[in-house]
Amino acid sequence: MNALAQYLKKIDESSYDCEDVRVINSEFQKICKFFFEEGKHDIAAIADLDRQVFSVQKSFDKKNDNEKGIIKGLSWQMSGIQTLEDGSQIPLYWPDVTKYTQQDFEYFEKRYNECKNLYAKTEYGLMVYFGQKTTTSKRNDFKRQLCNELFQLSKDYHTKADKGGEKNHYVIHFFHSLRMAFGVAEKSNLEPELTNIIKYIFKTHQDWDVTREGTLRILLDLSGLLSDYFGLSNKLIDFQKILDKNLEGAKELEKTYAWGAMYAIDRNITIEQKRNKPVVYLLNCKAKLYEKLATDAESKANLACVNFAENALRIYQQIKLTDDISRLEKYYAELRGKFRLSVIKQGLPKEYADNMNERILKTVAENDEKGIIHHFITSPWYDKIQNIKDRSIELSSQTVLLSMLPTSIMDKFGNTVDVFYTDEEKEKFNFWNSYTFNFQVGTQTMHRFFIEAYKAKKIDYASVLFYLEGTWFNEVIVRNYHGQKVDVKPIDTLKPGLKRVFEELDKFFADNNYQCDFVTITDSLTLKVEGLLRYFCEKIGVATFKTRQKGSDKLVMEKLLDDLLAGISPEQKTNFDEEDRILIKYVLAEKAGLNLRNAVAHSLMDVFEYSFEHIVILFCIIIKLSKYKFIEIKGENNNGNSSE
């Protein structure tokens, strides 16, 4: 029995479950290395295939998209960029599920049949199920068996979740396994499995103690699953009891996490709409929650109180509650007259934060210095623009945001810096509102990722400089100043600011009482990003200056940042990544965003407003800008080509 067979036997005899996936991955890596060094590459390849099974993302939400490394139900865990021998770059996915062969899926089936550990068995089984490459994968007896195994696994996780504990994530694993079991049963109309699962979901939802941790996830996930399949569920359960339990949970959540209560109310609104029932009472509850958020924010001198009060007012207008409308109009007017404004950051549910932290640590552990830097290029912590647009449209329809009252943006001094009157303008404002939430959550994740990578010694000034020296930042650009040619490199003006980032981190981690200098770094890197955009435009032939007439004279002036960003918009066909452009616009120039360039240039930031998060954001933008390559096309202007 070789080392691989021995380890597979160990898994069979173990109590491993999804909490042990990092251990399993590490042990398979050791086996792969052993056989590779022994020259037994065929066995090493098999061991690596086994390892990949536990890293492949499995979900009924995954749709076929070979170009993005996805086949139906199966997807990669990590992505990056691979540079070929000719210098061109292509997307890299691991595991690359699009490259699995018939033989690979037959091996997964063999392992499924042999495996005795329930967690491992279902992982192999889902590979077979979603792969649909073997005869067995299409048979209902296989699907029934897999469904029941997933159902049992979810019950096991539920039992483990009941034990509680600070680092107990089994509530998350419970729902994932239950969702997979439900999906298998629903897709093949397996009975009595489907009925049993629906009744179990209902009972679990009803029996849940709303004072426990995980209430938000349990109530929303379980009621959401039943609601998504309303036609099936409505025949078997009493949705009124689902609504009552969600309201019970909302009242409990309101004590500590008002947004959680809001989510529960939204879930009930969706269910009532499917039942063709009135939702006025739920909208009233939602408006009162917005009022609570407004008063809480007002007590902290937080500008968010204005937006919360506005949302409450619009809901009262929608449901025509005259007294409440009158009261909120007065309150809203009072709030708009206040000048002490600040920034809101909404805390995330503990189970979400714990899961994200675990994924960050895992990603840092599995990547080298180059892999860490490429994560700042791909930025998996930020959602795609199209998804944000879709959510903003949905949000505007739910909150009746397009009303008679205009929406405005005020700076911290109480100055109104922009107003959105028309429907088109308000649609734009809704997008930036949705983008802000995505940006805040994503940036918190990126900040933690940066710090963990630094602590793991996988990112420092030397590694960043080594990477940037291989990009266009290190290419000579010839400038002509008053008839004299001067060679410049974009990287030269970046070095001092980037070096200072890591010097300050070193000092802080050596002495936690050290006060970091965020001001110098932020001011430097903010303006350097604008400089990089000017260099970029020069290289692709987009003018960085514009002319204007003053009397009989023609004057030439450098373009402003907004003009530079407009010059690389999709309409200009420069191949500049729109995801990057919108991020830069939000961070540097957008009044509804951070507007850092304006704040730095006009010294509008107080010392306490500078943060390391701003530095990490600027670092991410710099790395993103470095990814481009420039190819000269004869007869046309040079165009920048995204490496993504």
Average pLDDT over residues 581-591: 91
Supply the pLDDT for residue 341: 37
pLDDT of 580 strictly over 60:
yes
- Residue 552 confidence (pLDDT): 67
191 burial (CB, 10 Å; 0-12 / 13-18 / 19+) is: exposed
54 falls within a domain: no
Say which residues have a Cβ less than 8 Å from residue 358's Cβ, sequence separation at least 6.
Answer: 169
Segment 246-255, tens digit of pLDDT: 999 999 988 8
Angle between helices 280-299 and 304-319 (to 10 degrees): 160
pLDDT value of residue 191? 96
- pLDDT tens sequence across 156-188: 999 998 887 766 788 889 999 999 999 999 999
User: What pLDDT, on the 0 to 100 scale, is given for residue 16?
Assistant: 96
Mean of the pLDDT values across residues 610-615? 90
Provide the domain count of the chain.
1
The residue among 188, 127, 568 whose CA lies nearest residue 197 is 188
Residue 86 falls inside a structural domain: no
Give the distance between the most distant pair of CA atoms in the chain: 92
Residue 323's Cβ-side half-sphere holds a number of Cα atoms within 13 Å equal to 1
pLDDT for residue 405 = 37
pLDDT value at 613 more than 50: yes
Say yes or no to pLDDT of 639 above 50. no
Measured CA angle at 428 (ends 291, 615), to 5 deg: 85
Arithmetic mean of pLDDT over the chain: 85
Q: 353 lies in a domain?
A: no
Name the nearest CA neighbour of 205 among 267, 270, 297, 113: 267
- Read off the pLDDT of each residue in 591-595 and give the average, rounded to a whole number: 85
Q: Which of 209, 200, 199, 139 is nearest to 174 (CA)?
A: 200
Q: Is residue 286 part of a domain?
A: no
pLDDT, position 326: 93
Q: What is the pLDDT of residue 128?
A: 97
pLDDT in tens, 527-566: 999 999 999 988 888 888 877 766 667 677 788 888 888 8
With respect to residue 530, please indicate whether it lies within any of the assigned structural domains.
yes
Query: What percentage of the chain has pLDDT greater than the value 70?
Result: 87
Q: Identify the domain containing residue 552 by its residue range.
A: 473-644
Mean pLDDT value of segment 120-141: 96
d(CA 289, CA 265): 10
Those residues with Cβ within 8 angstroms of residue 359's Cβ, 6 or more apart along the chain or in another chain: none
Q: pLDDT of 174-233, one tens digit each?
A: 999 999 999 999 999 999 999 999 999 999 999 988 888 766 778 889 999 999 999 999
- Mean pLDDT to the nearest integer, 4-9: 94
- Is the pLDDT at 605 greater than 90? The verdict is no
468 within some domain:
no
In terms of pTM, does the model score above 0.75?
Answer: no
Does some domain include residue 612? yes
Q: Is residue 554 part of a domain?
A: yes
Of 385 and 353, more confident: 385
Residue 630 has a pLDDT of 81
Phi, psi dihedral angles at 628 (to 5 degrees): -80, 145
- Between CA 111 and CA 50 the distance in angstroms is 9
How confident is the model over 426-479, as pLDDT tens digits?
Answer: 667 678 878 888 888 888 889 989 999 999 999 999 999 999 999 999 998 887
Task: Say if strands 416-420 and 477-481 run parallel, antiparallel, or are unpaired.
Answer: unpaired
Confidence band of 581 (pLDDT split at 50, 70, 90)? very high
CA distances to 173, 426, 585, 587 from 594, in Å = 37, 19, 9, 5
Model confidence over 357-410: pLDDT tens digits?
888 888 999 888 999 999 999 888 888 888 888 776 655 544 433 333 344 444
